[in-house]
Structure 1
Amino acid sequence: MEPSTFQLTDVVISHDPDNRKYDALLDGDGIGIVVYEVSAGHVVITHAAVKESHRAGGVGTKLITYALDHIQTLGAPITVQCPVVREFIEHNPKYAHLTARP
């Protein structure tokens, strides 16, 4: 599907715990990803990306929101290594409490 013709409601977010990632899918094709590791009781978010052709459509916001909301239900603090997710949390302070404090 061409990026200009998709609706954000057509984007499906899925969690793949075996591969430690959240995927954004459009018609079954991966268009975004959040990758994490689990270490010492923390969820470490290492990487987030959205295909360049889909960046202006809100896919990143939907994907990161889903990932953070899901991690919140686990009760595990997060460590953010990804600058995109770090910036998202700075602009959405309701997620600040999830980040691990030194």
Structure 2
Amino acid sequence: MSDVETRNNPDEKRYEALVDGEVAGFAQYQLTDQLIVFTHTEVDPKFEGQGIGSKLARFALDDVRDNQSQRKVLPICPFIKGWIGHHPEYVELVYGAPKSTAKD
């Protein structure tokens, strides 16, 4: 498989994963002043099983964290919600999640 390019496409309100310039998957979102609500994630069937969804989720959540917009994530999309569940380092981004008590 070719390299996966990831990007935020704010005009379409979605994060996208591209393979050879073709949209292989996307994570749709809605924005409020305080939240980024992930509503739907989809990977083209011909790219399933190649880690596209995971790369997309990681990129999108890292972008939210790095953007420092102070928005919290509300993962309505089952894929994003499940992905966060398997990657606890992203739980702090989730709206309503308790603050970590772990020491640095």
TM-score (norm 2): 0.85
Unaligned 5+ segments in structure 1 are 1-5
Identity %: 31
Q: Secondary structure at the match of 1:56?
A: coil
Contact 2:6–2:56 (Cα < 8 Å) also in 1: yes
Alpha-carbon deviations, 1:30-89, whole Å to 9, x = none?
A: 110011000242100111111122121111111110000001123310111100100000
Q: 2:81 and 2:66 mapped to 1: Cα distance?
A: 19
RMSD: 1.3
- Kindly indicate whether residue 85 of structure 2 is the aligned counterpart of residue 99 of structure 1: no
Q: How many residues align?
A: 95
List structure 1 segments (4+ residues) > 2 angstroms apart after TM superposition: none
Q: Quick check: which one's helix share is greater?
A: 1
Unaligned 5+ segments in structure 2 are 98-104
Mapping for residues 1-102 of structure 1, pairs under 5 Å: 6-7=1-2, 10-74=3-67, 75-101=70-96
Contact 2:85–2:91 (Cα < 8 Å) also in 1: yes
